[in-house]
Chains A and B, each alone.
Chain A
């Protein structure tokens, strides 16, 4: 039974570029949430996807967008990258919202 997986593990981009991060949920899970974790801070909720729709959103600009596919996997897209977008991006899956979440290993993004 595979846990939550994310790709890529590391990524280096320059300011103004766009990036796409990918997440495959734990088997049997249908809900995917994305978080941004800056160094030394707690994860910050970006948004949650369920039934291919964004259900909840945190305090992030619309440069951050996402998508969920019929197989429940998800993508996080960030446009017009800023230096401040450098962080660990975590994906978490659950069976429904408000339920136990399991985190993936994260994608470490560095914006130069």
Chain B
């Protein structure tokens, strides 16, 4: 089955700094690459996603980059704010619909 690894597991930054989280996967059939944000006690919420035919996607302060050859994709958050503090999950997905979530990265943004 798919093996998914996220790094780092915890990340602490000062407000205004950038944060980068990397996700490595093993299944070459994966073709959909979302990132979810989960605040304490709440449901995972999609924040950005990318398909395998695209290398980069940006939405305001958030961007995702994909390297299919190396089988990794990364979440980039610029100008971080305290409300960005949460757990972030990557979840590569195949056409068949099976999502494999990473173990999560706890991001803390210090004011």
Q: Are B89 and A43 in contact, CB atoms less than 8 angstroms apart? A: yes
Q: Is residue B67 contacting chain A, with contact meaning CB distance below 8 A?
A: no
Q: How many residues of B contact A (CB 8 A)?
A: 25
Q: Is residue A98 contacting chain B, with contact meaning CB distance below 8 A?
A: yes
Q: Are A42 and B89 in contact, CB atoms less than 8 angstroms apart? A: yes
Q: Are A97 and B34 in contact, CB atoms less than 8 angstroms apart? A: no
Bound: A98/B31 CA distance, A = 8
Q: Are A98 and B43 in contact, CB atoms less than 8 angstroms apart? A: no
A-B contact count (CB 8 A): 63
Bound: A42/B45 CA distance, A = 13
Among the stretches B14-22, B57-65, B68-76, B100-108, the one at the interface with A is B100-108
Q: Are A90 and B43 in contact, CB atoms less than 8 angstroms apart? A: yes
Q: Are A97 and B43 in contact, CB atoms less than 8 angstroms apart? A: no
A79-100 CB contact bits vs B (8 Å, 1 = yes)? 0000000000010001011111
B33-75 CB contact bits vs A (8 Å, 1 = yes)? 0101000001111100100000000000000000000000000
Q: Are A101 and B100 in contact, CB atoms less than 8 angstroms apart? A: no
A98-B31, A100-B49 are known contacts. Are A43 and B96 too (CB-CB below 8 A)?
A: no
Pull 6 A–B residue pairs with CB atoms less than 8 Å apart, ordered by A. Answer: A42-B104, A90-B43, A90-B44, A98-B95, A101-B34, A101-B99
Q: Are B99 and A104 in contact, CB atoms less than 8 angstroms apart? A: no
Q: Is residue B110 contacting chain A, with contact meaning CB distance below 8 A?
A: no
| Contact partners of A98 in chain B: CB under 8 A | 31-32, 93-97
Residue on A nearest B51 in the bound complex, by CB: A98
A98-B31, A98-B32, A100-B49 are known contacts. Are A106 and B97 too (CB-CB below 8 A)?
A: no
Of A41, A98, A103, A105, most buried by chain B (CB within 10 Å of CB) is A98
Q: Is residue A27 contacting chain B, with contact meaning CB distance below 8 A?
A: no
- Chain A positions 12-60 with a Cβ under 8 Å from a chain B Cβ: 31, 33, 35, 41-45, 48, 50, 55-56, 58-59
Residue on A nearest B94 in the bound complex, by CB: A98
Residue on B nearest A96 in the bound complex, by CB: B97
